[in-house]
Structure 1
Amino acid sequence: MKLKIGSKVKGKITGIQPYGAFVDIGSHKQGLIHISECHQGFVKDIHDYLKVNQEVEALVLDIDEYTGKISLSLRDTDLDSENSEAAAKHKVYWTNRTYHTGFKPISERRPKWKTEALRSLNSRNWS
């Protein structure tokens, strides 16, 4: 199976650590869903969302060209595959030595992050 950033993969969770879940995606390959990528918003305990042996469909966020590590996300799997591939092509995770983007990706995403944070704060009951 040829993996590329933006493709969807199916797999089974083989282990859970406080920082994320390991997923067997076949062909003797394993990916990691970081705790921040297992659900929209803040995740206090990953066990609230994922269990060992659970089947998942995840989006390939990054493939480190040096170590072969595969980063996966459950956050963007609700997008259709055409849009998710197009969106993932624009994500740069600083593991490719040919891209020199600096802080541009962060500054482009900042307004959306701010909106999400404010929405999260407003939805909490602070009384």
Structure 2
Amino acid sequence: MSIEVGAKLQGKVSGITNFGAFIDLGAGKTGLVHISEVSNGYIKDIHDVLSVGDEVTVKVISVNDDGKIGLSIRKAQEQPAESNEEQRPKRYQKDTRDTRDTRDTRDNRGRATQKKPFSRSQSSNNHKEDFDSLMSSFLKDSDDRLTSLKRNTEGKRGGRGGRRS
């Protein structure tokens, strides 16, 4: 009897271990069904599902050169009409069209302020002044953020005592 990968065979459970079940395929051939290949669901104890002497239908999933035969009861069963994707509820799709940074941030006194997205307020005629004002605005904002980060992380360093100034 030649055993080929993909073939469905009838067998009898000849032994059960904590990692799977040995299936007697006849003609002196024995294969192993790993516990993960017994059922689609989670199995804590294989003894709850199989017992020695049970007749099972298995699918050959591997045949190694050393004669070991990998079997699956799960793949031998008919697949349900609906796939797992159709049974699961649909995930919420976040609208990612507006990628500007408009999240709430905290000012220096701990009050919530609305972070405004960048907008150009001056005309493009004064490009040099516009750039300088943008750069100074950026540096001020960056310094405020660094100060806030430093203040928030200093208290999380552990040790005794209060904040360092």
Instruction: Tell me which interval the TM-score lies in, with the shorter structure as reference length.
Output: 0.5 to 0.7
Using the alignment, how far apart are the partners of 1:53 and 1:19 within structure 2? 18
Distance in 1, Cα, partners of 2:35 & 2:48 = 11
Q: Deviations over 1:93-118 (max 9, x none)?
A: xxxxxxxxxxxxxxxxxxx99x6xxx
Counterpart-to-counterpart distance in 2, 1:23 and 1:40: 19
TM-score normalised to structure 1 length: 0.61
In structure 2, what residue type is equivalent to 1:3? I
Identity of aligned residues (%): 45
SS at match of 1:3: coil
Greater gyration radius? 2
Q: Give the CA RMSD over aligned residues.
A: 2.3
Structure 2 residue aligned with 1:38: 38
What is the number of residues matched between the two proteins? 85
> What does residue 49 of structure 1 align with?
49
Show structure 1 runs of 4+ deviating over 6 A. Answer: none
Rounded Cα–Cα distance in structure 2 between residues aligned with 1:78 and 1:35: 15
Residue 47 of structure 2 aligns to a residue in which SS?
Answer: helix
Q: Which amino acid aligns with 1:78?
A: Q
Output the TM-score relative to the length of structure 2: 0.47
Structure 2 CA distance for aligned equivalents of residues 61 and 50 of structure 1 = 19
AA in 2 matched with 1:73: S
Which structure carries more relative contact order (alpha carbon 8 Å, separation 6+)?
A: 1
What residue ranges of structure 2 are gaps of 5+ in the alignment?
A: 89-165
Query: What runs of 5+ residues in structure 1 fail to find an aligned partner?
Result: 81-111, 120-127
Secondary structure of 1:36's counterpart equals helix
One-letter code of the match for 1:55? E
